[in-house]
Amino acid sequence: MRLKIRFRANGSNLFPLNYNYPLSGAIYKMLKFGSPEFAEFLHERGFSVDGKFYKLFSFGLEFDKARFERTEIKLLSPNVNLTVSSTMVDYFIQNFVMGAFQRQTIEIYSNGILSQLDVEMMESLKEPEFTENMKFKMISPVVLSTKREQNGKLGQYFFRYYDDINEINRVFNQNLINKYKLVNKIDYSGKPLMFRWDTDYIKRQTDNGKKITRLVTVNKPNEQPVNFVGNVCPFFVSGSPELIKTGYDCGFGEKNSMGFGLCEAITN
């Protein structure tokens, strides 16, 4: 299930460029109003399968009008829209709604910029019809990674749109199947999805000198900054509608609870 919350920026027209971590924290604070126990469980641990942990929710932020600068975002309109998505209606969605009604304002602080957002409106969004062939556009970047040896050390490598599509499919599907197991409490016995980028979109963007990848820095207090590389590009998926729905609800790819992988179906 998805909710869309319309905020109005109060005061400054500056917004933090790297807002993912503080916005994730604001979402957990909202959950605490409904259930402190659930919020703590989700924040500290989450759900595990095959030694990996998942939070089973995602979010994405959209600005009515804004200009992205090198170190900040300048709001040209005070209207900011947050979409949150989760398969956990009884736990995540209900507690989030309770928190949003009780906590009418959230604060986003990063790199010396404080932005205050006031809740104006909240609505549930209608699901698309899930079919065997679908196209999605991104509300927030999709992050996919693997372990690779770099400079003699094993480290995390983030896939770019131009990397081996077979490797991207492998990582994309394993992540999605793990989420499916957690959501449905059964193993997935079907075939993996076929994932491919919208190459026409990539050509148009790159021909115009525009980037497909996006670097996002997560700044946690008293820790070294961590960089994530995501891709912002429409994509096609073919296969099980149930598996596709899992990605729609929980987010595609990794780091969903940090605001990555929220996608919207293109129906025309």
8 Å CB contact between 198 and 217: no
pLDDT score recorded for residue 137: 97
pTM confidence score: 0.92
Q: Cβ atoms within 10 A of the Cβ of 164, count?
A: 9
Mean pLDDT lowest among 98-102, 143-147, 195-199: 98-102
Looking at the DSSP bridge assignments, the partners of residue 72 are 16
Q: How confident is the model at residue 158 (pLDDT cuts 50, 70, 90)?
A: very high
pLDDT band at 47 (very low <50, low <70, confident <90, very high): confident
Tell me: pLDDT of 232 over 90: yes
Distances from the Cα of 199 to the Cα of 138, 161, 191, 214, 263, angstroms: 15, 9, 24, 17, 17
Residue 145's pLDDT is 96
Q: Is the pLDDT assigned to residue 261 strictly greater than 80? A: yes
Is there a contact between 248 and 265 (Cβ–Cβ < 8 Å)? yes
Q: What is the pLDDT of residues 67-77, one digit of tens each?
A: 999 889 999 99
Neighbours of 104 (CB within 10 A): 10
- The predicted-structure confidence for 93-130, as pLDDT tens digits, reads as follows 888 888 877 778 888 988 888 999 999 999 999 999 99
Give me the domains of the chain, ranges plus CATH numbers: 2-125 (3.30.70.1890), 133-266 (3.30.70.1900)
The count of C-alpha atoms lying within 13 angstroms of the C-alpha of 108, restricted to the half-sphere facing its C-beta, is 28
